[in-house]
Structure 1
């Protein structure tokens, strides 16, 4: 694949993304992305461009409290950060680490902006095995049981397995085998 063909694919993708997300400005600091409210907290060296932001935006970013956008080599990079009261809070993506991120991972003196998310959308946790159609409010947690140290199956001459049915579920229970007299 040559560079011209790759650039054509990049241009097509940017055009598709620009049609997906629409930015509407209310005033100089407040705007919405597809009806979702945001507020421009800080802008350094005119780093915020609404059209470029719409091209790079993804719905995954709506779960973060703050979004930092920085420019490097004419490319906009977006990174999300959590507030300490967010249930998805992680210390390495805390609001307090934004300044460290700008110093360590961004080009020196690059234009950047910080956006506050006014309406955080926390994603639902989906279960791969939902048997009923009711929505679950808590995620399903599967615990692993510790294996009991038992002798090898062939060496268990004094035990007997019994199958117990409970509706559609079944389990096996081990019993001591009765001694023959």
Structure 2
């Protein structure tokens, strides 16, 4: 793909997402995104822009307690963080927001932190329980196959042959029918 084709695909994707989400400001720190309430905790260098947030927002971000938006190369990047430890990976805890801003964002870039006031935790699929109580267990015993004694086999011939030392061996050969 050449650069013009990639830019064309980006513009096509942006036009599809345009108007998908609506941001309505209630006051300087409270706003709703499609009726879902959020609180603006920090707005470093006036980075918060409701229209840009609405264009870049994804429904996957509703499961996070905090969302950090940072600007780099005129693009808004959003990343979610959990408030309680143990909900996600260690890097997704609220204590790692400063590490994220220092290590993964451009130095001195404008950023904002918003708090999700109604977190929509995804439901985890339940594992079906297995019933053990009251179920009769069926056990099958394997019976070894019984072969007839060597002397009673009609299609085979059995001979005793001297082996090494004083040992004798039984040699079983299939009879040839003439």
Fold agreement, TM-score > 0.5: yes
**For 1:119, what is the secondary structure of its paired residue?**
coil
Question: Would the alpha carbon gap of residues 83 and 2 (structure 1) be closer, same or farther in structure 2, given more than 3 Å must change?
Answer: same
TM-score when scaled to structure 1?
0.69
Tell which structure's C-alpha radius of gyration is larger.
Answer: 2
| Number of the residue aligned with 2:112 | 113
Question: Would the alpha carbon gap of residues 66 and 5 (structure 1) be closer, same or farther in structure 2, given more than 3 Å must change?
Answer: same
Separation in 2, partners of 1:142, 1:9:
47
- 2:98 is aligned with 1:99: yes
| Number of the residue aligned with 1:9 | 9
Count of residue correspondences: 141
Cα drift, residue 175 of structure 1: 2.9
Separation in 1, partners of 2:129, 2:44:
47
| Number of the residue aligned with 1:157 | none
Cα drift, residue 88 of structure 1: 2.8
| Number of the residue aligned with 1:158 | none
**For 2:76, what is the secondary structure of its paired residue?**
strand
CA shift digits 1:77-118 (9 cap, x unpaired): 100000117x73432211011001100000000000000000
| Number of the residue aligned with 2:26 | 26
Contact 1:83–1:89 (8 Å) recurs in 2: no
Cα drift, residue 10 of structure 1: 1.3
Cα drift, residue 141 of structure 1: 5.9
**For 1:20, what is the secondary structure of its paired residue?**
coil
**For 1:19, what is the secondary structure of its paired residue?**
coil
RMSD, aligned CA: 2.7
Cα drift, residue 6 of structure 1: 2.6
Contact 1:69–1:76 (8 Å) recurs in 2: yes
| Number of the residue aligned with 1:77 | 77
TM-score when scaled to structure 2?
0.70
**For 2:141, what is the secondary structure of its paired residue?**
strand
